[in-house]
Amino acid sequence: MCFYSPKENPDFSSTKTHPNEAKTWSYLIKKRISQGQGSLKQVLVIYTHIRSKGLYFFNLVPLVLKACASIANLDCGKVLHAESIKTGVYIDVMLGTSLVNAYAKCGHVMTSRKVFDEMPDRNVVTWNAMLGGYLRNGDKDSAKDLFEKMPRRSEVSWIEMIDGFARSGDTMTAKDLFDQVPFELKNVVTWTVMVDGYTSNGEMEAAKELFEEMPWRNFFVWSSMISGYCKRGDVKEAKAIFDRIPVRNLVNWNSLISGYAQNGLCEESLAAFGKMQAEGFEPDEVTVASVLSACAQLGMLEAGKKIHKMICHKGIKLNYYVLNSLVDMYAKCGDLVNARLIFERMGNRNNACWNAMISGFAIHGQSQEALEFFRRMENSNETPDDITFLSVLSACAHGGFVDEGLEAFSKMEKYNVAASVKHYGCLADLLGRAGRLKEAYDLIKSMPIRPNDIVWGALLGACRTHMDADMTELVMKEASILNTGKDSGGDTHYVLLSNIYAASDRWERAERMRMEMMEKGFQKTPGRSSVMFSNT
């Protein structure tokens, strides 16, 4: 990528300085950077415009390099590097540090180290940039070696090391480093990073112990504890932590609301959302994404529509997470028209978005549309994953598209997706529904994974549909071997086999099955009825 028009060949040595203009451009670029990920590409557009005018302001280069690093645009970084060498400002410490950081964040650690070694002067920020580069790219040994050689360490140096080792799963080394931090450098961020390292690795007992020792706490560490407990499924303890927060902020509320939704406690998630608003907090993108997920799981279309209206009314940013959540909510609630409208208007779509549409069509019986979107996904830049194939196989099973299902299953290897027992179960169900019971049986027997009750149950259901008592007996033997010594719900299978015998006028065998059920002590599951009362 070139930052200036190819028709121009700017003479860097003769470029005049324009202090006021430089300040204006600097302000614009800083503003775009502060606006986050979605505005970083605009930084490159602005810089291209500056260079097309034949202007060069070396103080802007570190800012542009920061944007390049954030979006991992290595080509832009290389152009800026070349420009800095040509202009002679390459020896500047700030610029050199920015180059070290940019190359490391783009995954080119060796180039980053080369720039680092060639710098005549370095400060502690430079050392920290190189240290962080090694750790982000998983080179803990080089990071440790560099850390030992540092002439001076700041609190950031210790935090980079603790966070880097914790993120790699080595919480023991991270804790050793934490214990070595000089007293004057151990601040609330240092404590928080160590606690968050434990919570990220699911070590909640160690996290809780350190959390209770903290001399003071920030809002992030409270949220880290809440999220950690929610990931482990201990929502009760997460709520207990939340209730202890002296002064809550939006991030704390988001952790609780999201945690409820992730654990299927959707009504609690919506109730917490209501309380959050009652306390005067305005929802953001994270809040609405979690609440939309709760609405999707509950099938609450009207509530989801109200959230959608609120997003538009409050001007909440429609980022990936929000748009994906809207598509998912509408699709799961059966409003596939609105789901598709939002989907088609999206400029970029990730796996989650494609999967939401494909599974939405599959769930609601629109198998042809699910297959159409699967083909579109294959032609896009996104690669199908295990969830995609589950949805496609389910759609094929319900739509009777046997050949398409077999073809989709065969593509899993092409996309390096390992088939799970669920995928095999879907394929067996597909073959069984089509009456190809022998093929389904052979598939299950040849599975590299041990089949479970659900897989055999799917085939038993197909046997009932097609009244194949012989295959049912065969499957029953396999199921009984699988479930020896387990409460497997075998009574249901016996009832099924008895019904098949009766339906095919094989009354003696049907009666024999009933007698066996009585001898084994199986009981009929009592039926239940429900009555819906209106509010009128």
Rounded-to-integer distance, Cα 378 and Cα 210, Å: 47
Q: Look up residue 62 and give its amino acid.
A: P
Q: Is the pLDDT of residue 381 over 90?
A: no
**Helix/strand/coil (H, E, C) string of 309-370?**
HHHHHHCCCCCHHHHHHHHHHHHHCCCHHHHHHHHHHCCCCCHHHHHHHHHHHHHCCCHHHH
Q: Over pLDDT 70: what percentage of the chain?
A: 83
Q: Is the pLDDT of residue 473 over 90?
A: no
pLDDT for 8: 39
- Reported confidence tier of residue 52, pLDDT bands at 50, 70, 90: confident
Highest mean pLDDT among 45-49, 96-100, 322-326, 487-491: 322-326
Highest mean pLDDT among 238-247, 311-320, 501-510: 238-247
Rounded-to-integer distance, Cα 32 and Cα 263, Å: 36
- Reported confidence tier of residue 514, pLDDT bands at 50, 70, 90: low
How far from 383 is each of 73, 124, 350, 351, 403, CA to CA, in Å? 22, 42, 9, 7, 21
Highest mean pLDDT among 17-31, 32-46, 149-163: 149-163
Mean pLDDT of 204-230: 97
Tokens coding 94? 């700030």
Least confident of 174-178, 221-225, 498-502: 498-502
Q: Is the pLDDT of residue 42 over 70?
A: yes
pLDDT for 533: 44
pLDDT for 83: 76
Rounded-to-integer distance, Cα 95 and Cα 58, Å: 8
Highest mean pLDDT among 78-87, 164-173, 487-496: 164-173
For all residues of the chain together, what is the average pLDDT?
Answer: 84
Q: Is the pLDDT of residue 51 over 50?
A: yes
Q: Is the pLDDT of residue 531 over 50?
A: no
Placement of tokens 């069509």 in the chain = 361
Within its chain, how far is the Cα of 310 from the centroid? Answer: 25
Tokens coding 236? 């009760």
Burial (0-12, 13-18, 19+ Cβ within 10 Å), 70? middle
How far from 131 is each of 161, 310, 365, CA to CA, in Å? 8, 44, 53
Q: Over pLDDT 90: what percentage of the chain?
A: 57
Question: For 382-436, where are the alpha helices, taking DSSP H only?
Answer: 386-399, 402-414, 421-433
Rounded-to-integer distance, Cα 450 and Cα 454, Å: 11
- Better-predicted residue by pLDDT, 226 or 458: 226
Q: Is the pLDDT of residue 146 over 90?
A: yes
pLDDT for 320: 83
pLDDT digits (tens, 9 = 90+) for 390-417: 999 999 998 999 999 999 999 999 999 9
Rounded-to-integer distance, Cα 101 and Cα 69, Å: 7
Least confident of 60-69, 261-270, 312-321: 60-69
How far from 348 is each of 174, 323, 324, 326, CA to CA, in Å? 38, 10, 11, 15
Tokens coding 193? 């990073």
> What residue ranges do the domains of the chain occupy?
29-152
- Better-predicted residue by pLDDT, 36 or 165: 165
pLDDT for 68: 81
pLDDT digits (tens, 9 = 90+) for 68-121: 887 788 888 788 788 777 776 666 788 888 889 889 988 899 999 999 998 889
pLDDT for 496: 53
Mean pLDDT of 499-505: 48
Mean pLDDT of 300-325: 94
pTM higher than the cut 0.75: yes
pLDDT for 451: 83
Mean pLDDT of 125-147: 95
Within its chain, how far is the Cα of 85 from the centroid? Answer: 40
pLDDT for 525: 47
Q: Are 149 and 116 in contact (CB under 8 A)?
A: no
- Reported confidence tier of residue 9, pLDDT bands at 50, 70, 90: very low
Mean pLDDT of 216-226: 97
pLDDT for 43: 76
Least confident of 175-184, 263-272, 461-470: 461-470
pLDDT for 355: 95
Q: Is the pLDDT of residue 174 over 80?
A: yes
How far from 110 is each of 74, 104, 115, 149, 384, CA to CA, in Å? 14, 8, 9, 18, 33
